[in-house]
Chains A and B, each alone.
Chain A
Amino acid sequence: MNPPFISMVVILYNMRREAGRTLQSLSAAYQEDFSPEDYDVHVVENGSAEPVDEAFVRGFGPNFHYHRLVNPPSSPAHALNYGIAKSKGRLVGLVIDGAHILTPRVLAYSRKLASAVACPVVTVRRFFLGPGQQPQTTQCGYTQEVEDELLERIGWPKEPYRLFEIATFMGKRRPGWFGRFWETNCLIVPRAVLDVIGGCDERFDRPGGGFLNLDLYERCTEYPGAQVFVLLGEGSFHQVHGGTTTNVSPDEAEARIETYRQDYARIRGRPYEVPLVQMKFFGSLHPRSFLV
């Protein structure tokens, strides 16, 4: 049997509410031009106290697989590596935070790029659901209930691109579609790249991984011969849950980021700097993607 074209690895940690939407957005019914034979999804439950059911995951399609890790390291690095090892796809998509809903052409555009360039590194812009940065909005009344109502108001998942009506670019300085980039919650790369760089560095062992995701982005985008693409008009949309930096107060988030920075300097032997990557863009800009 041929390996699937893409394997998506999704890490869950106490995300019973959020996982349903994330997985639905990865289903063949939602992703355009993909049938279950073309790809698979490996959901890795990373030691959650409140895990989802295996049957719930499998309910999204025959191509959905569930792996439950018991007492794993607190960082998602090991869980990602576990999912990478379990999967067989020629491309691997890493969703480090399973609370992100995707738009429907992420997989199709990734496949197009893989057909046109030798080593595509595909990245997807991140958005917060709600009217602003969730560390702020959650201090001012934004809750899971408000979010549920918003998603209901746009009729998700019927018209998925209406997500842009209820979302905000992640990042204090509003990067926009063409701004600099150093992290994504949906990184799709050829398996060979992960093999060569050795996957995720498990020395990033903080809960949430600290700069694990930045480190992974940096090492993939600097891979020799890689062409880095940002998908235009596509996005990943963060649902509010108790994330390690996304859903704590701004002061607390700052303090944690400083610790992560120190970890990075210790592991890599140099301070973290945003990589200077030559990005290219690919995609269609739905009128609603101008709203954010």
Chain B
Amino acid sequence: MSLGPSGALELSVVVVTYRMRREAPRTLYSLSTAYQQGVSDNRYEVIVVENPSDEMLSAGTVQSFGPQFSYCTNPQPSLSPASAINLGARQALGRHLMLMIDGARILSPGVLGETLTALRLYDQPVVATLAWHLGPDNQARSIHKGYSRQVEDRLLADSGWESDGYRLFSISSLAGSCGNGWFFPITESSCLTMSREHYEALGGYSEEFQSPGGGLINLDFYARAVANPARPLVILLGEGSFHQVHGGVATNRSDDEPLRLFREEYQRIRGRPFTTPHTTPIYFGPMPESAKPFMRRSFNKAQELYRQRYPYLRDASLQSMKEPGPKPGDAQAPRPQSRSLTVLGMHRSGTSALAGSLMECGVDFGNVSHWNRHNVKGNNENQAIVDLHDRLLADAGGAWDAPQDVVPWESRHRQARDMILAQLRTTRSAWWGFKDPRTLLTLEGWREAEPGMRFVGVFRHPETVAQSLVVRSGLSRSHGLDLWLRYNQRLLALYKQQPFPILHFSDNPEDFLQQLHRLAALLELPTPPGGLRFLEPELLHAAPLHTEPLPRPVARLHDELHAVAFYRPEIQSLLRQTRQPA
């Protein structure tokens, strides 16, 4: 695509409108010098291209926003905005093009100024803003809960956005195209700027997209625009575009039907399914207070993700240097009034739910993780213990999913263990404890330092565990069943040395809750006034389809565990009789 001659202007903004008499004036005001900060009207122009309808703007309305505003109608009307935006680009005089394919979007007041600065940072960067929807939620949802043009008009009027455009952040929600915020990949930008040269090289917007609204045309254009490493992606921080509700084709529909058709069209045109580009951005811009909640949510989410992916000073020996506290030798001096309780169980068997309930009953689990992407309530694991276990297992030549028969504890492991124990023993609770499924593989070293350690076990149907491991860890079913066997053999062997409660994590929440209450009574743990609440049905995933019979050793062990399970009255009675005095 070849554009006309480029003049002295730095920037041409192309805005496409269609049936936006209500929305476009706000959009255009947000592009005027009365609103945009630090930019004069001789640095840019705004070209409004309207697709014909019975609700059109007038040239006078557009031009009223400043001498740099012009208006034209698209002589090739189409359901897609492609020809309109390409027409605007052909008319543009600027060295750079800011493309706004949906004229219903109000900009924040620094978009023009920050974009113009960002364009000087690199040779022909692509400058993108993230998108918000006005109102309490994504408009595809909020319009079904009473959000409307009238509600939006009032919201905008009350916000005072015209004098302080950053207030728009306070009345908006992130759009689906960038729902995780600044620190995750986005699928498109509703206000995207690039050099004319880059636009021409891309051939502009693809007019092959003929779905209403253009289908995935904007996603297609964004993906192509940021695919060239020589054209770095700059994402504006603290600025955004804010979508007004107007009955758009995709933004204001709640069902997936248009999306399905759009994806099909994309596949047909590009010969492959659409995927989000993962171009690493450079960030540029301010961070106004009103935008910080979005920044924090996005940052925290990214932090959780990357802390899973990268190690971060997790050694217990280093963590203990954070605060003056117990030293290695302190492990020999436990507080006499507190006792320890260790949760034992295979991965994906309800250990997190059990630990969470014990925490509700006042058992101190120390510094535990409350977040885990496979476990909605968190896994309640102490990271220092998990790290120690991972090191132990690795040093033994294994891993959690490749258990070794012998896991030797060496002095460096013992040193780390003692620091962890010293920390846990500082509790003011009557009980302290920890939980990590790997404990079943490493228990000897813990018992050596804490001979009075007491246990609570939990087991779950082998098929459910195996299928969960298939989904979570990509293991095969047979590998998962083998792991179930090896972990639970150890659980049963321990029980045979000295009986302790082993709960059955069934798919019936009431059943498990009842076991938890009985357990609290057995251990004389106080239950919270409103009862135990930790276990929620969402934690219990649906029971798997048993397509194949269980291997015989697995089935036999499963039966044996049921025979000693805590839900059996005779086992509860046995444990009451052998209970150690409080």
Contact = CB atoms under 8 A, between A and B. Distances in A.
Interface in A268-291: 278-285, 287-288, 290-291
Given A112-B121, A165-B310, A291-B312, A136 B281 contact: no
Interface stretch (B75-83, B321-329, B347-355, B394-402): B321-329
B321 A112 contact: no
Given A117-B117, A140-B322, A290 B283 contact: no
Interface in B205-241: 237-238
A279 B286 contact: yes
A105 to B, nearest CB: 10
Given A112-B122, A282-B282, A131 B295 contact: no
Interface stretch (B20-28, B136-144, B298-306): B298-306
A139 B321 CA distance: 8
A287 B183 CA distance: 9
Contacts of A171: none
B117 A132 contact: no
A250 to B, nearest CB: 10
Given A140-B321, A290-B306, A280 B313 contact: no
A137 B299 contact: no
B556 interface: no
A131 B299 contact: no
Contacts of B305: 290
A165 B312 CA distance: 5
B309 interface: yes
Nearest to A291: B312
B145 interface: no
Contacts of B582: none
Given A176-B299, A287-B310, A232 B283 contact: yes
Given A165-B311, A178-B292, A178-B295, A290 B322 contact: no
B330 to A, nearest CB: 13
Interface residues of B, number: 37
Contacts of B312: 165, 291
A131 B310 contact: no
Nearest to B325: A140
A284 B284 contact: no
B351 to A, nearest CB: 27
Contacts, number: 94
B322 A166 contact: no
A177 interface: yes
Contact of A281 (B183, B286, B303, B313): B286
A280 B285 contact: yes
Given A117-B117, A165-B310, A136 B323 contact: yes
A224 interface: no
Given A131-B318, A140-B323, A281 B283 contact: yes
B578 to A, nearest CB: 42
B303 A290 contact: yes
Given A131-B313, A139-B324, A140-B323, A281 B237 contact: yes
Interface residues of A, number: 34
Nearest to A162: B310
A285 B307 contact: no
Interface string B98-133: 000000000000000000011011100000000000
B522 interface: no
Contacts of A130: 318, 321
Given A139-B324, A140-B321, A280 B310 contact: no
Interface string A122-154: 000000001110001101111000100010000
B170 interface: no
Contact of A132 (B121, B287, B323): B323
Contacts of B311: 165
A135 B227 CA distance: 46
B140 to A, nearest CB: 29
Contacts of A141: 320-321
Contacts of A142: 321
A103 to B, nearest CB: 15
Contacts of B295: 178
A285 B320 contact: no
B124 to A, nearest CB: 14
Contacts of B122: 112
Interface in A217-245: 232
A2 interface: no
Nearest to A137: B321
Contacts of A71: none
Nearest to B280: A284
Interface string A58-102: 000000000000000000000000000000000000000000000
B319 interface: yes
B118 to A, nearest CB: 8
B154 to A, nearest CB: 31
B286 A280 contact: yes
A130 B122 CA distance: 35
A113 interface: yes
A280 B236 CA distance: 10
B120 A116 contact: yes
A205 B295 CA distance: 40
A178 B121 contact: no
A124 to B, nearest CB: 15
Contacts of B283: 232, 281-285
Interface of A: 112-113, 115-117, 130-132, 136-137, 139-142, 146, 150, 165-166, 176-178, 232, 278-285, 287-288, 290-291
Given A140-B323, A280-B285, A285-B283, 17 more contacts: A115-B121, A130-B318, A131-B318, A131-B319, A136-B321, A136-B322, A140-B320, A140-B321, A165-B312, A176-B299, A278-B286, A279-B287, A282-B284, A284-B280, A284-B283, A287-B310, A288-B310
21 contacts: A112-B122, A113-B121, A116-B118, A130-B321, A131-B319, A132-B322, A137-B321, A139-B324, A140-B323, A150-B318, A165-B310, A166-B313, A176-B299, A281-B285, A282-B283, A283-B282, A284-B281, A285-B283, A288-B306, A288-B310, A291-B306
